[in-house]
Amino acid sequence: DSGVTQTPKHLITATGQRVTLRCSPRSGDLSVYWYQQSLDQGLQFLIQYYNGEERAKGNILERFSAQQFPDLHSELNLSSLELGDSALYFCASSVDGQPGNTIYFGEGSWLTVV
């Protein structure tokens, strides 16, 4: 158990809909990351937050947004869903988001868009 908690574990939704994925980082970790794992794209970095502020942005679509709240939990919002958004979405956390920090991953949220 990495200490990173993600909900829901599985989600099935229709095209065009909006979903929210939730993440609680490990106790004491200030930085949260979101990654997407799909068959065609592999593991892709989406976005990183540190102590409530956006730190780095990767290949995140404009239809997707994220935030980190004062209690350090984070949410990834996916809207206008398309079939291609079906993937495993990982949340991860590290102590302070500095280079070299070990990044611990949650169990992921399986999103299926039908």
Partner 1 sequence: AQTVTQSQPEMSVQEAETVTLSCTYDTSENNYYLFWYKQPPSRQMILVIRQEAYKQQNATENRFSVNFQKAAKSFSLKISDSQLGDTAMYFCAFMTARGSSNTGKLIFGQGTTLQVKP
Closer residue to partner 1 (CB): 70 or 99: 99
Structure token pair of residue 7: 């909900």
**Does 99 sit behind a cis peptide bond, omega within 30 degrees of 0 on the bond before it?**
no
Site string for partner 1, 30-69 (x = CB under 8 A): -x-x-x------xx-x--x-x----xx-x-----------
Q: Minimum CB separation from partner 1 for residue 86, in Å? A: 14
Q: Rule CB under 8 A: is residue 99 a binding residue for partner 1?
A: yes
Residues of this chain that interact with partner 1 (CB under 8 A) are 2, 31, 33, 35, 42-43, 45, 48, 50, 55-56, 58, 88, 90, 92, 94, 97-108, 110
